[in-house]
Amino acid sequence: MSDTTDEAVEALAQQRLAGAERELSRRPKVTLVETGRAFWRYPSPWMIAAYLLAAVAARVVVGEWSWTDLLAPAVFLALFPVVEWLIHVFILHWRPRRVAGVEVDSLLARDHRRHHADPRDVPLVFIPWRALAWVIALPGTALPLAVGALLGADLPARLSFVVTLAVVLFVYEWTHYVIHSDYKPRTRAYKAIWRNHRLHHYKNEHYWFSVTTSGTSDRLLGTCPDPAAVPTSATAKDLHGLAERGPEAL
């Protein structure tokens, strides 16, 4: 790529970022309470809340509390930033391809490409409800219960782990929604998370994959460089350049 092209891409990225900042600054101030009310207008928060309430109810009914209830959740919470990074990189940023003549492309990946194309399109911020139903049923419930049984964990501990998964899923959905909402950062911690995700959308989609933390897993896995040292991507809003290349790019 020539120096002239590099400069044009950088100028375009700066223009997009400045435009988004101006648009946000012109909007009326939105409180966190108002943001929360809007959050419940979409199906995925209700689905996750129902999943969480069901998991908590099951755990309370089973009883038999012990220190083992804290073990699996503690391990998962410690690993979650890496899990989030892996999902973002290998599932959401999946590049569609043909395998034995069949196009392999998931709903999550397709909707995530649409989300990058228009980060202000609120419905695309949320996990698609059809994919979410599968996530809740299998990796959210059936898989941890089955794996826990194979590892010898008792039912109370397995249910505590499911509760943890439900809480984490809700926190992810809320955090991602607030980042893309009109709510302006007011705390240092939230500003760091907000800035990290905006770099991913407006600077370079190959870096800054953390969503619920300010680059925790990115620092560990080498995707949190100095923004000034990273070239601005021409495909941050067109993942893999598929829209430009057309169907033959698959």
What is the residue whose two structure tokens read 């600054």? 25
The three-state secondary structure class of 211 is: coil
Q: Residue 113's domain spans which residues? A: 3-186
What phi and psi, each to the nearest 5 degrees, are found at residue 97? -150, 165
In total, how many domains does the chain have?
A: 1
Stretch 113-140: mean pLDDT: 95
239 within a domain of the structure (yes/no): no
For residue 184, what are the contacts with CB-CB under 8 A and spacing of at least 6? 24, 29, 30
> Which of 86-90, 189-193, 237-241, 246-250 shows the lowest mean pLDDT across its residues?
246-250
Structure tokens at 209: 């994959």
Is residue 29 included in any domain, yes or no?
Answer: yes
Give 190-218 pLDDT, tens digit per residue: 999 999 999 999 999 999 999 999 989 99
As a whole number of angstroms, the distance between CA 173 and CA 218 comes to 19
84 falls within a domain? yes
CB atoms within 10 A of CB 15: 10
Whether 207 is covered by a domain: the verdict is no
162 assigned to some structural domain = yes
Rounded to whole angstroms, how far apart are CA atoms 232 and 159?
Answer: 45
Give dist(CA 45, CA 227) in Å, integer: 33
Residue 203 belongs to a domain:
no
Residue 108 in any domain: the answer is: yes
pLDDT at 107 over 70: yes
Could you tell me if 221 and 79 are in contact, meaning their C-beta atoms sit under 8 angstroms apart?
no
For Cα atoms 202, 206, 208, give the angle at the middle one, nearest 5 degrees.
Answer: 70
Tell me which of 30-39, 120-129, 186-195, 236-245 is least confident.
Answer: 236-245
Per the structure block, which two tokens stand in for 184? 């302006």
**Residue 217 falls inside a structural domain:** no
